Chains A and B, each alone.
Chain A
């Protein structure tokens, strides 16, 4: 049988999606269904003086209007589920509807439920709210300054937490031969999955069961948290998230809206649907990044890195989102030394409340920020000592024989072959020739730039013991059940919750390969808490390394049992049975064999099972990984900058990634493409802007620049395969590498192009105007 694992197979998800038969949360239509719409605060910070809902309630077709006061005592607050240890974290209550005070533009004030979405929207306009506006602050450094408006009573200077890790003392820097210091601004990004959030709730008064179809990356976590908010026991609460239109981190968090929709459905005993519009998505669904990073980087004149130290002031928004505090701390801090041997590293992180949308994970979550500052510092350092940035990287990369490698931040990197990826990327792009071409073009007044990133990522979150140690309020193992039906067909139940990544396909490939069952005979079920025992969901590039390996272990349990039955059927001892390509045969007598399907049928008939073997055939695993996984690679970008306009032309982009063993090259490549575009989006176009009153100025697709097709040329991608040594499948994650690597790669390329003008850094996004300004400033200073 040809190897299924490692082959490009067309996706199983696609037939329903290309024919319009997807089942997204908004597609659920139920008899008697009502529509909800939320009145949101137009003020960034204000006291609520009075709310009058009379006119709204009087509108024909309006069924109910709820305010924060109406819900007080009847519904819980929205919890934060990542509490970094030793950080003095403050978690002031996040009410589902604001009662006395609103803290950002978009904070919910009232919920309308009506017979259709049009009436619900009209009724929102009829609610009269009297606000007493308060001074607002959108920027984190302003928010911690003395005299800044305080968002939450008792939270001094708006500091939500202060977390430190690592060790890089002053004397290390004082004694360094070379020190480079730089401040970077990680601008705020808006995840913008193309499907806005949506929730449809149905309550069954007879059984007390609540079903909530909701846009979620982790339905079991949402069940867990919503159960607390709503006071519905977990065994009466079902969350369904089968087709989800992208998440990118924004569908991890538990939000007030989904809770309110469920509340209303129970209260009104009718199904209720709520769909956020794009404007609401911009205002309310979690944002990403937004950190001010002061970096000190030390090394020798020869080019050895000796220390890195970072102060991170992170903007958490108005409330601490579900996983928000984990992003600028654990997910950021632990990877700061990157792919290099750096003896000393330390981070000092402040999480700050501001009158803005709460921030949480956004594709890469912490790791893009860390990789960005490191890769930018490496280039600045190389320039400082007058060496080629590739040479400097090569000199400091962890060598393949040094794995497992213990970093200054206490991680144990599992495996790597960093130089192989680097060399492959250099060859693909033609690095030496490019440097020559760059010189030639410079003499003609043209500005070519070459940017390189050699990254390592921490993903596959993660061992549960570590999750507990770093304050994540959950486990990070994953569940899988592999059920072989009497006919030999297979259903796989996974606790991972893919929403575009293609695991219905790749998980079937894992099972097909390992169990020897045709790919077509395998069905993968996900995203339904009633069908899947438990799961922790899809984020942090954990789906394949954790969820996939859970399936592998579950298959092995099936095989273990099947082998006993096969041996019994073949009338030999287990030791004499060998399994290959879905067939059990007798060692030395290959014609004496039974197929896995034949074994399965006997397992169900149970007419003649070996002693002590139960009927039926399925395996369940709760797989807790022993370590994170550490994918790595090299990305190289070539740009040309137009000195008259500051326009950046993406001339060429090469990506070499190593995510261990590749299950489906086409699907893996798709992840890389998407990641690259999202990372370049941050580098060149995307960025949320608030004004002085903390109003979001970039609140539509008219203002917030999402990457479009015409912004790019074709990327060249390749993989190297260094198997992950600590999991059965040898796999690492691939969902975030592109986003992590591409941002610094592109910015390094632009800065390289601008070297003749003496430009060292430009804040992202590198809009043409910012680039032009930097060039003009460089010219004036020259």
Chain B
């Protein structure tokens, strides 16, 4: 498997990357780890005329703690995210999801920004981005833009990234104190992508009443979605097995659930319900 020919250039700043994107007039693509783009190119499903390698852009690497969240550089690898003590402490569902992306080798190369901007409908990280109400920081020709996770994912392989822009970083908001969070995944036996992936964040008050619930679901629909039906059913209720069961039935209501060769729409709805309940049960048990 061999891709078509292309030009290649390595840049060292975001500004340079944007300039090259502009100059290429839509023919160029950014290359980070390459683990979303290169497989498509090898199958000749994508044939960009130019690749702009941004992997050496220092400002896009690393994880920084801010008062309301962790800002993860777009070029931070999944392996780095999964093993970061800060992420594990403040955003456990993100660490779990990152540790379940692809496989060991893929996690060493694949990057957070590459994964999110590729926006595969079965990718793990969008669910977490939704559950932690992430903000995506984008640098464009005209300056900086901030995109909320919910408006970022538009459809399969489609995001709200403006033309000729570079993702700088993503802020995952730390949920209210006392929150618990988890990522539950049913991997496809062949591809390892999520048949369904559920990121659940729940906070309860001293009376065990749910004060905060965010559920992000990936893999089940044409694009990752917030399961607001589940969230609404939980908030204000005592966090109990009964509450979980009655809330989980709404798990597939907020997405355009899709079927494929491996799992039909009906079965995916079932998986959404069952695994949302299981994710919530894990939080209940914590």
Contact = CB atoms under 8 A, between A and B. Distances in A.
Contact of A122 (B4, B190, B267): B4
B271 interface: yes
A224 interface: no
Interface stretch (A229-237, A437-445, A697-705): A697-705
11 contacts: A121-B2, A125-B44, A277-B1, A278-B1, A644-B270, A645-B186, A689-B261, A703-B190, A704-B190, A705-B190, A772-B270
Nearest to A684: B189
Contacts of A311: none
B5 interface: yes
A448 to B, nearest CB: 20
Contacts of B208: none
Interface string A679-693: 000000100010000
Most buried by A among B186, B191, B264: B191
Interface in B134-172: none
Nearest to B274: A644
B36 to A, nearest CB: 13
B264 A769 contact: yes
Contacts of B2: 117-118, 121-122
Interface in A701-752: 701-706, 708, 711
B11 interface: no
B189 A769 contact: no
A767 interface: yes
Contact of B261 (A121, A685, A703, A708): A703
Contacts of B190: 685, 701-706
Interface in B266-280: 267, 270-271, 274-275
Interface of B: 1-2, 4-5, 43-44, 186, 188-191, 261-264, 267, 270-271, 274-275
Nearest to B262: A767
Contacts of A705: 188-190
A279 B261 CA distance: 18
Contacts of B264: 769
A122 B5 contact: yes
Given A702-B190, A702-B191, A769 B263 contact: yes
A645 B270 contact: yes
A772 B263 CA distance: 11
A773 B4 CA distance: 44
Interface in A740-778: 767-769, 772-773
Nearest to A767: B262
A702 B190 CA distance: 5
Given A689-B261, A701-B190, A703-B261, A645 B4 contact: no
Contacts of B5: 122
A122 B6 CA distance: 13
Contacts of A701: 190-191
Interface in A222-260: none
Given A702-B191, A704-B190, 13 more contacts: A121-B2, A122-B5, A125-B4, A125-B44, A645-B186, A645-B270, A685-B189, A689-B261, A697-B261, A705-B189, A768-B263, A768-B267, A769-B267
Contacts of B270: 644-645, 772
Nearest to A697: B261
Contact of A711 (B43, B188, B189, B275): B189
Nearest to B267: A769
B264 to A, nearest CB: 6
Contacts of B191: 701-703
B155 to A, nearest CB: 20
A567 B5 CA distance: 74
A546 B190 CA distance: 37
Contacts of B275: 645
B45 to A, nearest CB: 11
Sort A-B residue pairs by CB-CB distance and give the 6 closest, nearest first. Answer: A705-B189, A705-B190, A702-B191, A769-B267, A121-B2, A644-B274
